[in-house]
Amino acid sequence: MAYCIDILGDEAISGKQGPLPTITVRNQKSFIVEGWASDEGARLPAGGVEVNIDGKLYPTVYGLDRPDVAKAFKTPSYRFSGFKGSVPISKIGKGRHSLELKVFSNNKKTYSSSKEKINFEIQ
């Protein structure tokens, strides 16, 4: 699976190299996790994406238009590989947290977790 988190809360994080610093999410009612994911083996969009925060899964809307991803990978089928999720802060609380993605294969029979975790803090 290939994936990228573009936005976490108000912070644009795609394209940053190396370990990310802890991202601070101000105390709002919810925060956004946005990006794209694909099933590289099948050369198709993924079957869906869930956000895993501290071991608890949160759904996303998957299939958003990402012509930039299709163009970058020269794979037209990746056009609708975008996702966006809104995580209620009341569900996770203030403090430090760890986030990773759960990306499903196109046929939804398997999934993989993102290789690196993103640390963030709710203030």
pLDDT at 31 over 90: no
Q: What are the two backbone dihedrals, phi and then psi, of residue 16, each rounded to the nearest 5 degrees?
A: -75, 135
Burial of 31 (0-12, 13-18, 19+ CB in 10 A): buried
pLDDT at 55 over 80: yes
- The whole-number pLDDT of residue 25 equals 76
Give the rounded percent of residues in the chain with a pLDDT score beyond 70: 93
Q: Which residue has the tokens 């709710």?
A: 122
Specify the DSSP element, H or E, that contains 69. helix 67-73
* pTM of structure: 0.90
Strongest mean pLDDT among 24-28, 108-112, 115-119: 108-112
- The whole-number pLDDT of residue 8 equals 86
Which amino acid is residue 50, in one-letter code? E
According to CATH, the topology of domain 2-122 is Immunoglobulin-like (2.60.40)
Residue 12 near residue 47, CB atoms below 8 Å: no
